[in-house]
Amino acid sequence: MAAATASSVAAGSSLAGHQARLGLPRRQAVAPFLSSSACTRGQSALLANATSARPAGVNGPSFRHVAPRAAVSKGSYGAHKVKGTGRPVMEDRVAAVAAREKQPAFFAVFDGHGGAAVAEFLEKELWPAYKKSIETALSKGRSLEWATARAYEEVDGRTLAPPKGFFGMMMERGMGGPKCGSCANTAVLLPGPGGSYQLIAANVGDSHTYLSRAGEPVKLSEDHKPNVEAERLRIERKNPTPGQPLVRMAGGEWRVGGLLALSRAFGDVYLKDWSDGTRDGARGGFGLTAEPFVTVVTLAPGDDWLILGSDGLWDTVKSQEAIDLCRKQGPNAQLDAVAAELVGLAQQRGSTDDVSAVVVRLPTADAAPAAEV
């Protein structure tokens, strides 16, 4: 069954008009990232206000407000990852931070390439920077989209920096080497007033997140690959020599610079140019950037599962299958085992890639939707 997709709102487009086309209530447009960034912000209100709107493609019941549980406890999520067959090292990393009372919870899948150094760094360092950015945004009245993009850019800059010390200037830039990088797929569960929850889903690369709403998958991420037309056009707009395309076919795949089959990623300093004085490859070089796609969702009563996975999972397992597998679990299911079952299913179907999955039983799962009137 096809998943409803949360599309990005391009810079300069009308957020209110986009929401109206989706049948969503009008809301104030989100603040831009810093002062000059064309940050991909997603919709700040997509799937929000469930009392008056449903996600595209989901014909579920109307919802009434029911206060959910207070926090995501340690037993409410599970994670599993396996090394791909024939691969020398495991390059995926996962992260899960349980929430204390009134504190946010964080979940992530980092799909590394060219080594595991960047993915490992993100596993340890992205959430502390991200949490601080969220706190700054909330204290200054900035948007959660702004907080996410700010954290992603800051941490990406740290992966690109040359080694410290006297001899650092003579060494290769880039954590793990110039060709080491990682996709990132993150979800933050933020408790709000009256027992409400906001979910901040963000990604760079080709790992994905799905929300289970009314038993159907709602996609909260997008593909960042050079064969996606919007990404190809974004990259080529920055091309200083249009006669020589930056997106080229190599090894049977479209690649940035004929080298990388991703259009957004952390790290990969060899495809990011600092010649204009900035850290973000979106403004120079080959157009590679860690600028995230961001969707902010207000959870509705009955939203029950969240699944994050690397492309090694989603290349062989359909989103509806994954949702169905999670929804059949009993209340006392060991969720690490559920994540392992998803990963095992991908392997059974022939995945040779590293495969990672994080599953989260949402605090709104027990708040049943109201009957259709």
290-320: per-residue pLDDT in tens?
A: 999 999 999 999 999 999 999 999 999 999 9
Residue 326 lies in a domain: yes
Rounded average pLDDT over 361-366: 88
* Confidence label for 168 from pLDDT (cuts 50, 70 and 90): low
Q: What is the per-residue pLDDT across 341-352, written as a single tens digit (0 to 9) for each? A: 999 999 999 999
Which residue has 């169905």 as its token pair?
324
- pLDDT-based confidence at 321, cuts 50/70/90? very high
65 located within any domain: yes
Which structure tokens are listed for 19?
């929401």
User: Higher pLDDT residue, 73 or 8?
Assistant: 73
Three-class SS of residue 21? helix
In this model, does residue 49 exceed pLDDT 50?
no
Predicted pLDDT of residue 46: 35
Please indicate whether residue 367 or residue 234 has the higher confidence score (pLDDT): 234
- Which tokens hold the place of 304? 């029950």
The pLDDT of 112-128, averaged and rounded, is: 97
Specify the DSSP class assigned to residue 289: B
Q: Predicted confidence band at 31 (pLDDT cuts at 50, 70, 90)?
A: very low
Mean pLDDT of 272-286: 54
Asked whether the beta carbons of 297 and 201 are under 8 A apart, the reply is yes
Total tally of structural domains belonging to the chain: 1
Answer yes or no: is pLDDT of 355 > 50. yes
Q: Which domain holds residue 179?
A: 4-8+44-163+170-224+262-361
Asked if residue 370 belongs to a domain, the reply is: no
Any bridge partners for residue 326, and if so which? Answer: none
Token pair for residue 50?
Answer: 């469930």
Residue 267 domain-assigned (yes or no): yes
Between CA 228 and CA 255 the distance in angstroms is 11
DSSP reduced 3-state for 85: coil
Q: Is residue 24 part of a domain?
A: no
pLDDT tier at 14 (50, 70, 90 boundaries)?
A: very low
Q: What is residue 86's predicted lDDT score, i.e. its pLDDT?
A: 78
CATH number, residue 269: 3.60.40.10
Query: Strand 4-5 vs strand 216-219: parallel, antiparallel, or unpaired?
Result: parallel
Give a yes or no: residue 369 inside a domain. Answer: no
Predicted confidence band at 63 (pLDDT cuts at 50, 70, 90)? very low
Average pLDDT, the chain: 79
Asked, for residue 14, whether it belongs to a domain, the answer is no
Pairwise CA distance, residues 369 & 351, whole Å: 37
**Whole-structure pTM value:** 0.78
- Which of 143, 140, 141, 125 shows the shortest CA–CA distance to 44? 143
Q: Which of 33-47, 112-126, 224-238 has maximum average pLDDT?
A: 112-126
Residue 364, CA distances (Å) to 72, 76, 306, 320 in order:
10, 12, 11, 19
Give domain status of residue 338, yes or no.
yes
Stronger pLDDT, 147 or 61, i.e. the higher one = 147
Range 98-110 average pLDDT: 88
Residue 18, pLDDT score:
30
